[in-house]
A and B are shown apart, each in its own frame.
Chain A
């Protein structure tokens, strides 16, 4: 990656260092970190915190290195296992627990971070995950293990903490700074929660970076390119597409679009369904009712996907997938061809192209304008995915880019850039979702459109509706719908720090800002007094500053036992926590990601030695796996070893929450019963306006009368007006928002309301 950068245009060289008290020990100027003096230079790592796997990298001396764990693996499973003795394990060893101790093994937590308890995603996870997801204050959620409840940022912090340990072992010095990547389509709630996770893990999060942008940086850094590229990123749980223009050292995101409900695990679900249906047709036994069988199916499905990345046909063998009540043992044996698989998942792949159409259109380009297509994410190893993408973009995707590592590498490049005094790349990113403010009629008016570059700030001025009004309520949303309820509520706050006055006299400036992390903040200021109340827009279910401090103080993250550390001779060693699995279950690990992964019957695997029993593990460079294995650790107790389910634990299986329903009537009953109490209309949050918490009028709106605020205007005596720059109050009566024309009880709006399109 070494290269000569053209000097950027600009005047940094002219800065007078004496006037700038640069923070830390890195004075401004051209002083590069001393090469080969890693102990002295400031280190910052890049972490790709994935749904199913995470990866950490660092850039030193101009070279980007992916930091492997003690077992030589570039990626570490994003799985957290809670042992009965209180210890916590993260990674592939933890993943092996899913089968044995599903209720203590948290996987796919990225799908839950920054979500409300009532969200679809949480519903799905509750239906299929064995660990307990419970509701917390303000529609938040926690994961409950025994009596302990963990917030999602805390779970993510445990994964980050493991990645940090890997980095520290490999780099040989403490690491406190990181760039963490998120899907480009993550909303503010999810970004904020991820940033909180970094803090809990003891990391200063230099930047929340979009995954596709990181991939583009890794691709284009230091190459002096002038190209337009698309990053097609299909991860475990999310799909993102970003279109970028790379102009030398500037990486400008032209547009981004995505789907946070589409990922490789949806592919797995299709195959699980097929296998379960076939099995049910053949035997009359529904495997979906048996968690262990289901886990085996998931392992097999993920293995098949990986196998089909390399072969045209794979053999699926699941011996003893289930033993029925009468003691009969059933197996699954079936071959699966690429063509059959394509038929299963083709519509999923096709659905990404609708998102691509949108991104290209927003970027103002067509496919043939693109100079390159970069594929990111494990599923892009499937030839069928590559073929379909090639067909859509009418060009060959770029070769030679590791789809599992490229994001962490880009994050590492950016991290290095942020701690160095040399700025070698400029990332000009965009906000993926429109920022909106709640107005009358449960509508949400756009303040900052999606694909607007960040950082950005917009101010609106509002006034009160009633004489002597005490406070105003401000609700902030993200999303593309004019209907408030179809957007994500980022937060709401009540502002009362203003000089009370007659209606229309008070002027309150509300400033919306999106920073370079894509994180939103909102400030309200009284023009008369200059008094301000600002808020980090906090997910109602998110962590408050106090809660965050409490979590950091409690430091449960310290219970994570790093698998990768340095021994007294400064050698990196691995310590697979064997006590966490039954003694007769071989603990294994995948040697390298690229090793031939054929499928899936356990015998095959062992014979092909892609996965090695620990005690047979060869010496891996820089790795000395711990050998001893306590025979009966607390997590191993419980007799699982008799269940013939050892094979999945030998596989590098996906830990993602498959989106499949359960057929178990009891479970469905319990689930829906559980849920009905908790389903909350997002639009109804904060509908409990109290007393004088009235709505605001925007003072500098054009003379249409948008009514901002709560849902109960009628009872509260009517909403307040948003007043135009050129507004004449007299002309604006009666107070009816445009969109509310003809709205009256019992009126069918659908005939009349076809004019509700968002102006583009």
Chain B
């Protein structure tokens, strides 16, 4: 595979994943580069979301799921999918933004503050400061600063998704996972989120699953093309989209299937 000279935030080694007897991920190897955006593309059902959800152990919420292999998180070298590692600890270090905006039916403020509250933070001034910072990072502060105590459901779809990003950022995660974050949004809201994601890589390592190849080309530094639970090709985004080394990748990005 490709030789990466930049520093790594995580390294996926020989990852296999099973839903009961069905093997959804096959022998995945992938480096995740620090402060870069890694995109996962591929047709529906290729396992990209399954793969993403290994990073915060979401599969542990449901019975019959099994991991094999390693996802090593740097700098401490913790294998986050090892059964003895507490999934809650992993989720405290790695945040996630979901496909459809899923704010809690609480106020804007309480949505962003929730991650901090889970960690036992009760000091009002500190909560206020961190909520403000997170909303600023998510480019939402100007729009909501006067309605922090309104219900989050009153925001537009795009604002709700940025609120979810702020919620994920408020706890200072090391990696931020995006699962098709714009698939439920209109083009204007989508481009705002894309700009935001590019901005955010200065502060956090990003992995994004997307259905939209143009989106991967626009925002990411590295792209992995997945097919039937395997990584077919992984390289710098420019390279994947201009000179793919695999025939299958080329067929996919030129729209011949998927």
A binds B: no
Question: Which residues on B are within 8 Å of A, measured CB to CB?
Answer: none
